[in-house]
Amino acid sequence: MTGPALENEMRSSALLTLSTLALLTPSGAFAEETAARYQVTFERTWSKQTHPADFPLLAHFSPVIGLTHQPGHALFTPGVTASAGIEKLCEEGKHQPLDEEIRGAIASGDAGELIETSDPIREVPGRVTAEFNLDAAHPNVSVAAMIAPSPDWCAVATDVSLVEGGTFVERKTVDLYAWDAGTDSATSYRALDADMQPRGAEMQSAAPYFVRDGRSIPVGRVTFEKR
């Protein structure tokens, strides 16, 4: 094949290659920026004033844990059965074995980075901060802390995308809501342990403590700021 026919064949081949590469490019990839560093501020507003019903003594949030991840690989997902790590976090405020579950997701490529703080949030308003790296393959973030005391409730921001219009956002704030891990059947803050068998599903809590006039009342907020 020579002349115009060869030239046309080469042009078609090049276009096909470019189309294939476009299809293979992850949806989170960016033309100019493939990574960014963020600070997350996890703030508690949950108090006797915002959630007055039976508000417990020594109320606090546990230290925060979270991860960066692929879209859909969230820390909490409605209807999913909680992992052993989620159970320990929401029932006891412990980061183990959830931290190991997250490291496993990082090793498999589903997650990018583990996010942790070391101090509980005892004051209102109270906050903790942490920094983390975000990349184009893992543009979403999930973070959570135990609502303590409680049977199996966590303050959660899940599957938050930090990409808008193909670029990393400069700043984003979302509300934190109470979630039920579905691992304990008790229904009050200070109830004794009541292990749920079979397991229920993770879901935003419908407990009357967190709902007013049919509307869920946030227990805090989380802000992501690009560094």
Parse the chain into domains and list their residue ranges. Answer: 1-29, 31-226
What pLDDT, on a 0 to 100 scale, did the predictor assign at position 173?
Answer: 98
Q: Which residues pair with 47 in a beta bridge?
A: none
Which ranges of the chain have pLDDT less than 50? Answer: 1-29
CATH H-level superfamily of 31-226: F-spondin domain (2.60.40.2130)
Share of the chain residues as helix, strand and coil, in percent rounded to the nearest 5 = 20, 35, 45
79/201 Cα distance (integer angstroms): 5
What pLDDT, on a 0 to 100 scale, did the predictor assign at position 32?
Answer: 63
- Angle at 152 (CA atoms; ends 145, 146), nearest 5 degrees: 15
Q: Which residues pair with 167 in a beta bridge?
A: 164
Supply the mean pLDDT for the chain.
Answer: 89
- Kindly list the distances between the CA atom of residue 137 and the CA atoms of 34, 36, 187, in Å, as whole numbers in the listed order: 9, 12, 39
Global pTM reads 0.85
What pLDDT, on a 0 to 100 scale, did the predictor assign at position 25?
Answer: 40
